[in-house]
Structure 1
Amino acid sequence: MLFEGLELVSALATLAACLVSVTLLLAVSQQLWQLRWAATRDKSCKLPIPKGSMGFPLIGETGHWLLQVLSKVFSHEALQSYLPKIQLVIQDTLRAWSSHPEAINVYQETQKLTFRMAIRVLLGFSIPEEDLGHLFEVYQQFVENVFSLPVDLPFTGYRRGIQARQILQKGLEKAIREKLQCTQGKDYSDALDILIESSKEHGKEMTMQELKDGTLELIFAAYATTASASTSLIMQLLKHPAVLEKLREELRAQGILHSGGCPCEGTLRLDTLSGLHYLDCVIKEVMRLFTPISGGYRTVLQTFELDGFQIPKGWSVMYSIRDTHDTAPVFKDVNVFDPDRFGQARSEDKDGRFHYLPFGGGVRTCLGKHLAKLFLKVLAVELASTSRFELATRTFPRITLVPVLHPVDGLSVKFFGLDSNQNKILPETEAMLSATV
């Protein structure tokens, strides 16, 4: 009887501890989102935090006109204008990786790549390379401290995040002013151009502070999750050489890669990428199995019932993307990397509306999802057609999920240059080729 009483007391104590932990977790989570708001936006900014947007100020009920503006930023026409620039940035990056004498840290390098893409392509800033490198270091400090505890004391993560934001906004203001003064020689409209012009069409002349905040939001949206997905893509192509070869076969069939191995001349087009069905399957499978973020928050607009439980209006709820992908009955062998599951013969993602949602779902689905998929497709095409790469460690690293999914050691990979027949050029051979006779 005594033991039964002790077991009951222990169970009640465990339950109480769990309730306290959940309460603290929710409280800290709310504070972290408030910190994100404080670390990314100036308190004097006229754009209020939208109800239910969980700290993403440019997407919410109070900024409906901005939703319309951002839809133009990621429209088909805009993506077509970004595409040649994205391809050039990726090609330059892969050449740099291949010329590096040692293995590279893929996760760190893809972060630099996506940051460069956001600055050079999405925003159209002409920042010198040295200044761009410094800005990237500051931005990393900013990102690393966004989810710190909101304690504004010297040497805390919060204070470092605020200081990094201030430095970033100073650099961004300089780049914006230079961009506004120099309008000659532009061969395409970047996202910032569209943001400025479309806001004028809606009678919303944006202040410099709002431009800086909007610019920082666009960089934030294009940075971490795309770097995560890019790293996962490279890891899976390393793990599954048959998938990489099948992708090359599709590129040959579409005339993007010659039968001899060397890539065809010319830039890619959206309609060309749309015709690469296996490439689409590969990207979909990467995003299914290695979704960069775990889920999202929503505010309940109307009381509803789910599995016998009533969810009241006004509650904040969280949905899990990874759990959805892991438990969705439409997917067979959920832990297996199998791009063919999305092929026409199987089409596992077509059965049901919300079984596959790497970019969220409903009216708040990720506005930049088409840009993210475009970037991943171009990266995959360039990897398959112009690169040879191999794992530089004995085993693949373990994966961590915080703050976004990525390998714990960053994934060490050696890239090689290629000759005209797509054969690897070893460092010694490169030295001989570059020697003056």
Structure 2
Amino acid sequence: MLFEGLELVSALATLAACLVSVTLLLAVSQQLWQLRWAATRDKSCKLPIPKGSMGFPLIGETGHWLLQVFSKIFSHEALESYLPKIQLVIQDTLRAWSSHPEAINVYQEAQKLTFRMAIRVLLGFSIPEEDLGHLFEVYQQFVENVFSLPVDLPFSGYRRGIQARQILQKSLEKAIREKLQCTQGKDYSDALDILIESSKEHGKEMTMQELKDGTLELIFAAYATTASASTSLIMQLLKHPAVLEKLREELRAQGILHSGGCPCEGTLRLDTLSGLHYLDCVIKEVMRLFTPVSGGYRTVLQTFELDGFQIPKGWSVMYSIRDTHDTAPVFKDVNVFDPDRFGQARSEDKDGRFHYLPFGGGVRTCLGKHLAKLFLKVLAVELASTSRFELATRTFPRITLVPVLHPVDGLSVKFFGLDSNQNKILPETEAMLSTTV
């Protein structure tokens, strides 16, 4: 009897310890997300933490009047003006990858690509390439320490993150001042232009500090998640050559690739990309299986009931994107990479509102989702049109889910240039070795 009583006490103690651990985990998690919001901003900044999101953006979430501003930044007209610049940045990057004599680390290079896209296209900064490389290294140090415990001690991650932010903001202020002074020769309005003009329209002319904070938020929003999705896209095209060939067939049918294989001249347009239905299916399937972030946090604004459980106002909740995609009954063979599931014949994502939500859902769905999908589509088109690539390791790497989904070793891939018939251009030494004597 005494033994049973001790067992009961032990079980209750274990349960209590688990409840305390979960409570502490949620409390620390909430504080870390709020720290992320604060870490990108100076203490003097007046921009508020968005209600209900705990300050964590899914590629462009923000709050209050800025929602209207960001809706302009990611509007159809804005995306049309960004598109030629995005294509040029991706083309330059793929040429650099193909000219590299060794295999590249795709995840690291994708991070550099999305950072360059944010600086060159979204913000319109004319920063020299050498300075841009240094700025990227500082930015990486900032991102790596964003979620550090808020303990301001020498050599702590928090202190390194703050120091990196200070360096970043100094460089960004210089770039912003140069941009404000040089208004000639612009052939499009970038995101920073729209942010400045829209704030004036709302009677909220932004201070330099708020411009730096908004700029840093835009870079943050376009960086890690897009790099993650870009890496997943390349990995799946490597794993599934039939998908890549089917994509090339669609490009030929739409006149983007000649029948001989070489790409047609001219820049892409939004209406052209919208007509590439299989390309859309490929991007959707990448985002279904390899959603960059696991989920989102929300604060309950009104008490509600879910499956018989009451969720009180003020509680913090988390929704899981990956678990939703894995368990949604509408998807068949959920672990199989199958773009055709999104084709017109099946349309598995159309049955139900919340089975497919790679960019979140509701009023706080990701505002930048159209820009992210546009970037991935252009990358896929350029990869299919101008690149040959192959895995440089024996097997594909494991995938880790934190801080965003990515291969543990970054994915080592060798890229090759193409001739006019879309055949690989081998390095000179390799070409000599393959010559028949």
Question: TM-score, normalised on structure 2?
Answer: 0.96
- How much does 1:312 deviate? 1.4
Separation in structure 2 between the aligned mates of residue 61 and residue 114 of structure 1, nearest angstrom: 18
- Native 8 Å contact 2:57 2:366 kept in 1: no
Q: Conserved in 1, the CA contact under 8 Å of 2:59 and 2:222?
A: no
For the structure 1 residues 174 and 15, does the alpha-carbon distance in structure 2 shift closer, same or farther, using more than 3 Å as the test? same
**Residues 359-387 of structure 1, C-alpha deviations (whole Å, 9 max, x = no match):** 00011000000000000000000000100
Contact persistence 1:297–1:317 (CA under 8 A): yes
Deviation, 1:8, is 3.1
Distance 2:359 2:63 in 1: 21
Alpha carbons of structure 1 residues 432 and 425: separation in structure 2 relative to 1, 3 Å: same
1:1-400 equivalence runs, <5 A: 1=1, 4-56=4-56, 63-400=63-400
Deviates more, 1:182-191 or 1:24-33: 24-33
Residue 67 of structure 1: CA displacement? 0.8
Cα 1:204–1:389 change in 2 (3 A) is same
Is the 1:295–1:322 Cα contact (8 Å) retained in structure 2? yes
Where does structure 2 lack aligned partners over 5 or more consecutive residues?
A: none
Shift, 1:30, TM fit: 2.2
Please identify, of 311-320 and 322-331, the stretch whose mean Cα deviation from structure 2 is larger.
311-320
Relative to 1, partners in 2 of residues 1:300 and 1:230: Cα closer, same or farther, differing over 3 Å?
Answer: same
Distance 1:58 1:320 in 2: 13
Query: 1:403–1:101: structure 2 CA closer, same or farther, 3 Å change rule?
Result: same
C-alpha contact (below 8 Å) 1:58/1:214 kept by paired residues:
no
RMSD value, Cα: 2.7
Helix, strand or coil at the partner of 2:64:
helix
Deviates more, 1:252-261 or 1:31-40: 31-40
Note the alpha carbon deviations across 1:258-307, whole angstroms, 9 max, x for none: 11010000000000000000000000000000000001111222221111
SS in 2 for 1:63: coil
Q: Which moved more, 1:131-140 or 1:426-435?
A: 426-435
* Alpha-carbon distance, 1:39 to partner: 1.7
Query: 1:75-115 deviations in whole A, cap 9, x for unaligned?
Result: 00000000000000000000000000000000000000000
Distance in 2 of aligned mates of 1:430 and 1:204: 61
Kept in 2, the 8 Å contact 1:51–1:62? The answer is no
Aligned-pair identity in percent equals 98
Structure 1, 424-433 or 112-121: larger mean CA deviation: 424-433
Return the alpha-carbon distance in structure 2 between the equivalents of residues 36 and 230 of structure 1.
24
Offset at residue 313 of structure 1 (A): 1.9
Q: Retained in 2: the 8 A contact 1:49–1:56?
A: no
Q: 1:229 to 1:279 in 2, by over 3 A?
A: same
Query: CA 1:433 to 1:192, structure 2 compared with 1: closer, same or farther past 3 Å?
Result: farther
Query: Against the structure 1 CA distance between its residues 136 and 401, is the aligned structure 2 distance closer, same or farther, given a 3 Å change threshold?
Result: same
C-alpha distance 266-41 of structure 1, shift in aligned 2 (>3 A): same
* Residues 148-186 of structure 1 deviation map (CA, whole Å, 9 limit, x = unaligned): 111110100000010001000000000000000001110
Given that residues 70 and 195 in structure 1 are in contact (C-alpha distance below 8 angstroms), is that contact kept between their aligned partners in structure 2? Answer: yes
Distance in 2 between the 1:111 and 1:435 partners? 38
**Secondary structure in structure 2 of the residue aligned to 1:183:** coil
- Structure 1 residues 159 and 61: alpha-carbon distance in aligned structure 2, compared to 1, 3 A threshold: closer
The CA deviation at 1:15 is 1.5
Q: How far off is 1:52 after superposition?
A: 2.5
In structure 1, distance between residues paired with 2:60 and 2:82? 26
Deviation at 1:33, TM superposition (A): 2.0
Aligned residues: 437
- Separation (CA, whole Å) in 2 of partners of 1:244 and 1:156: 45
Superposed CA offset, 1:325-367 (max 9, x none): 0111101111111000000000000000010000000110000
Q: Residues 107 and 411 of structure 2 are in contact (CA less than 8 Å); yes or no, is this contact kept in structure 1?
A: yes
Specify whether residues 379 and 304 from structure 1 end up closer, same or farther in structure 2 by C-alpha distance, changes over 3 A only: same
Bigger mean CA offset, 383-392 vs 13-22: 13-22
Superposed displacement of residue 23, structure 1: 1.7
- Shift in CA distance, 252/156, structure 1 to aligned 2, threshold 3 Å: same
**Conserved 8 A contact 1:58-1:67:** no
8 Å contact kept, 1:229–1:292: yes
**Residue 70 to residue 430, structure 1, CA distance change in 2 (3 Å):** farther
8 A contact 2:59–2:225 mirrored in 1: no
TM superposition shift of 1:66: 1.2
SS at match of 1:305: strand
Encode CA deviations 1:196-227: one digit per residue, 9 max, x unaligned.
11111111111101100000000000000000
CA shift in 2, pair 1:34/1:238, >3 Å: same
Distance 2:266 2:18 in 1: 59
Give TM-score scaled by structure 1 length.
Answer: 0.96
Q: Which range moves more in the overlay, 133-142 or 311-320?
A: 311-320
Q: Is the contact made by 1:49 and 1:57 (CA closer than 8 Å) also made in structure 2?
A: no
- SS of the residue 1:415 aligns to: strand
Distance 1:336 1:434, change over 3 A: closer
Alpha-carbon distance change, 2 to 247 in structure 1, aligned in 2, over 3 angstroms: farther
CA–CA distance in 2 between the matches of 1:364 and 1:286?
22
Aligned mates of 1:333, 1:414 — CA distance in 2:
31
Contact 2:291–2:405 (CA under 8 A) maintained in structure 1: yes
Q: Which of structures 1 and 2 has the larger relative contact order (alpha carbons within 8 angstroms, sep 6+)? A: 2
Q: 1:430 to 1:90 in 2, by over 3 A?
A: farther
Residues 107 and 228 in structure 2, CA contact (< 8 A), matched pair in contact too: yes
- Of 50-59 and 161-170, more deviation after overlay is shown by 50-59
In the aligned structure 2, how far is the partner of 1:393 from the partner of 1:288? Answer: 26
Contact 2:60/2:221 (8 A) holds in 1: no
- 8 Å Cα contact 1:388/1:415 also seen in 2: yes
Query: How far off its partner does 1:433 sit?
Result: 15
Residues 431 and 207 from structure 1, CA distance in 2 versus in 1: closer, same or farther, beyond 3 angstroms?
farther
| Cα distance, 1:58 vs structure 2 | 12
In the alignment, the residues of structure 2 paired with residue 34 and residue 336 of structure 1 have an alpha-carbon distance, to the nearest angstrom, of 36
The CA deviation at 1:60 is 11
Provide closer, same or farther for how the CA distance between residues 60 and 300 of structure 1 changes in structure 2, counting only shifts above 3 A.
Answer: farther
Gaps of 5+ in 1: none
Query: Greater CA deviation, 7-16 or 359-368?
Result: 7-16
